[in-house]
Amino acid sequence: MEESIAHEGTGSPLSRRSFLQGVVGVTGLGLLGASGMAALSGCAPEQASARGSASFDPGTYTASAAGKHGDVTVEVTFAADRIEAVEVTGHSETEDISYVPLTVLPRAIVESQSVEVDTVSGATLSSQAVLNAVSDAVKQAGASPKDLPPFDASALSQSMTPGTYEGEAYGKWKKGSIEGERFGCPADIEPVRVQVSVDASSILSVEVLSCSDTPGFFEPAVERTPKDIVEQQSLFVDTVTGATLTASAITAACAKALEQAGANTACFAKATPHVDGAEAYEADLCIVGAGTAGTTAALKAVEEGLSVVVLEKTARISGEGSCATGALAVGSRLDESVGNHVTVDEVFSNMMDYYYWRTDASLTYNVLSHSGEMIDWLQDHWEQTGQKGFSAPKATEGTSIAHDYGKGREKFQVLWDTFIIPGGATLLMSTRADALVVEDGAVAGVTATRQDGTAVSVKAKTVLVCTGGFGGNAAMQRDILGSSDFYLNGVASNTGDGISMCRKEGATLSSDVSPHLAEFCSNDVLDFYAGYMKFLNQTGFLMLDPSGNRYMDESFCITHALARGASGMRRVGSSYIVFTQADFDKLLTSGVHEILGEDIIAEYKMRERILVPSYHTLQAEMDAALAHGQAWKADTLEELGELAGFDADTYARSLADYQAVVASGEDALFGKRAELLHPLEEGPFYAVRVVSPIDGTYNGIKVNERMQALDEANAPSPRGLFVAGQDSGGYFSYPYTDYVGATCGYALTTGMMAVGSIKEYLGK
């Protein structure tokens, strides 16, 4: 079945098969007279404009400001009465994703003589870094940014060579990425390609010709971004939340095409206009979040006869669920079909013992007891629509008893298109919930804002919050987890909105709020996860903390990837993996095969994705890491330590201890097996900085077995507030359970379960 995108209001879908056929152009905007065409023009004829009273000390000044991945450095040249040039001379931002703020924004500053240019939606940190750095340079030149005029695109002139041009830029996956294929992308990633037609002053049409980004994520951006660029005559259009990287790639590719047309791209630096409107809704239940838990909750609610309004801040449904491959469940019909007789009591006992009974026993038992029912219920719906749905568990014992259903959004979309929307639910996409409305200790609804600025109010006696945790909110991670030294492999739009709303109204956090650690390793400046660098900790190489101290048996990253390896890496924040040129050459030509040997690979039952014949992109990945200060190379170990910034004494002691361990073949401190004690004898040597990857967070607001939010006294508060999925807490502790598919199974089950409690609360 074709994957489709639900359109609020019209209900009409856009299929993946047909998206390339639609060209957004002026002809699609209705019949426009001459005045209408003038309004669409990228820039009006040049007009006289007061430029303020700023005067500068002529010269070139250098300034830097913090961007997303480090400092952005600019050189700004001033004449006595104007800014002559702005050039970004150094940065660690993602090239194509930050193309518009790093190229168009500087030109807009020069053309307008203003630093009041709007930031680029979807690249706010990169944009703000440019603006802050230029403002600093203005001060160095003896002026004040306040003396500069406001930005006015209509005062700028435009003259393009009419015609059709093409541009390209990489989105979610970069050139050479190997990770996208797991999510349904082509094996060979290609850039997003766009075709742009222009006349002398206007963008006439934008068409996306091809896109290799993740299916189930990219479609809303392909549908909306070209249309917005044409309608608004701007490269600074609002991003498509939930598809930000694809939207950024489209605008970057469009900018490159416009440059070929000789465009003054500063004319297209206009912010999206927002409306001053309001909408009001009323329902039995308001669901905040249309992800994994929100989908099962909405489906169950319409089947139980409840009126429902669903608020989803992104432009897509399914959330993290489309990235998961299966769900932990016990006692389904599929279990019975393969003779899987694992019981709820058995899994309950194993999970509680694993967590030393730090979790909520009543909640855990209730979720597991409903998990088989959840599988059967969803499977019935999918079979009605021709979907394959779940597969029977591959194992009939142990912790790998998940019910697989494959990655992708289609299985969720069909539930919305076939059952939830026809069942009467109202789905408001691109609508961010702002606050709970609480009256006399009970919820009375939710206030929200659409992306276009429209204020939304929902009157409801019950609210279910399920916004997916806060994996995409570094500040919240620092506040709650104590660190944000992670690489997010999950959904960046999960920024803790729901948790913050609940806490503001008296609900409390559960114990053991934790990052959902993922296996392997990555980097928070460069995307190691897209290539082979993520497997560096699957080698047993020496690993040091930021001081240069060895801190664990490095083979834990292979044998106990989450419970020990990832947990150890989390404790130290940044880890530094140290190895030789000879080791690197082996990885490049034969992956881990020669490094580890086939006996160890077989003994540890290493995953197939690690065991490819060669890590052929590793040289390019290493070159990028060296260029961005995330890896260091030296002829001696002593020089390597200086480059990496280790404490000299700690590092020297660690090296001496490690070399003694290698020589003796016995690791008295950590017990690492001799075959994995890699010698460090002949240079050159490398050190690569890595951090723990995370899929998101788990454990949020404390709930009881009925999914009611609780206060510090364990009483439901405010009344009528329910929480499901990764916004709720009590089912997990730290480290993550050994059971495969636990978070997905929990989200699917608790969304369904919560509605039973909500219906009872409402007395229906």
Q: What is the DSSP string of 430-449?
A: SEEEEEEEEETTEEEEEEEE
pLDDT at 61: 98
Q: Is the Cα torsion angle 79, 81, 85, 87 positive or negative in sign? A: positive
pLDDT digits (tens, 9 = 90+) for 538-573: 999 999 999 999 999 999 999 999 889 999 999 999
pLDDT at 9: 36
CATH class for the region spanning 59-151: alpha beta
Mean pLDDT to the nearest integer, 116-138: 91
Compute the distance between CA of residue 172 and CA of residue 168 in angstroms, rounded to an integer.
Answer: 13
Mean pLDDT to the nearest integer, 231-260: 95
Does pLDDT of 95 surpass 70?
yes
Considering the entire predicted model, what is its pTM? 0.88
Mean pLDDT to the nearest integer, 358-384: 98
Does pLDDT of 45 surpass 70?
no
Helices 742-762 and 292-303 pack at an angle, to 10 degrees, of 30
pLDDT at 271: 86
Does pLDDT of 8 surpass 90?
no
| Cβ-based neighbours of 754, under 8 Å, separated by 6 or more | 293, 297, 464, 706, 707, 722, 723, 724
CATH among 3.50.50.60, 3.40.190.10, 1.10.3720.10, 3.30.70.330 for 278-516+695-762: 3.50.50.60
Does pLDDT of 30 surpass 70?
no
The tokens describing 82, both together, are 């104007």
**Which element (helix H / strand E) includes 658?**
helix 648-664
Q: Where in the chain do CATH 3.50.50.60 domains reside? A: 278-516+695-762
Helices 581-590 and 618-627 pack at an angle, to 10 degrees, of 140
* Pairwise pLDDT comparison (15 vs 101), residue with the higher score: 101
| Cβ-based neighbours of 18, under 8 Å, separated by 6 or more | none
pLDDT at 43: 53
Does pLDDT of 24 surpass 60?
no
pLDDT digits (tens, 9 = 90+) for 618-663: 999 999 999 999 999 999 999 999 999 999 999 999 999 999 999 9
Does pLDDT of 273 surpass 90?
no
Does pLDDT of 252 surpass 80?
yes
pLDDT digits (tens, 9 = 90+) for 150-185: 998 888 999 999 999 999 999 999 888 988 888 889
Q: Please, which pLDDT band fits residue 49 given cuts at 50, 70 and 90?
A: very low
Does pLDDT of 6 surpass 50?
no
pLDDT at 574: 97
Mean pLDDT to the nearest integer, 239-246: 90
Q: Percent of the chain beyond pLDDT 90?
A: 83
Mean pLDDT to the nearest integer, 199-220: 95
The tokens describing 136, both together, are 């600093």
Average predicted confidence (pLDDT) for the chain:
91
User: Regarding beta strands 308-311 and 426-428, do their DSSP bridges make them parallel or antiparallel, or are they unpaired?
Assistant: parallel
Of 542, 515, 308, 338, give the one whose Cα is nearest residue 427.
308
Length of the chain, in residues: 764
The CATH architecture of the domain made up of 156-268 is Alpha-Beta Complex (3.90)
Q: Where in the chain do CATH 3.90.1010.20 domains reside? A: 59-151, 156-268
Residue 310 has a CB neighbour count (10 Å cut-off) of 29
Mean pLDDT to the nearest integer, 377-396: 94
Beta bridge pairs of residue 25: 205
pLDDT digits (tens, 9 = 90+) for 435-453: 999 999 999 999 999 999 9
Q: Please, which pLDDT band fits residue 52 given cuts at 50, 70 and 90?
A: low
Q: Please, which pLDDT band fits residue 209 given cuts at 50, 70 and 90?
A: very high
Instruction: Give residue 319's region: left, alpha or beta (phi > 0; psi -120 to 50).
Output: left
Topology annotation, domain 520-691: Flavocytochrome C3; Chain A, domain 1 (3.90.700)
pLDDT at 14: 34
Give the E-state strand segments of 322-369 in sequence order.
326-327
Compute the distance between CA of residue 71 and CA of residue 509 in angstroms, rounded to an integer.
Answer: 34
Instruction: Match 């500068």 to its residue by tokens.
Output: 56
Q: Where in the chain do CATH 3.90.700.10 domains reside? A: 520-691
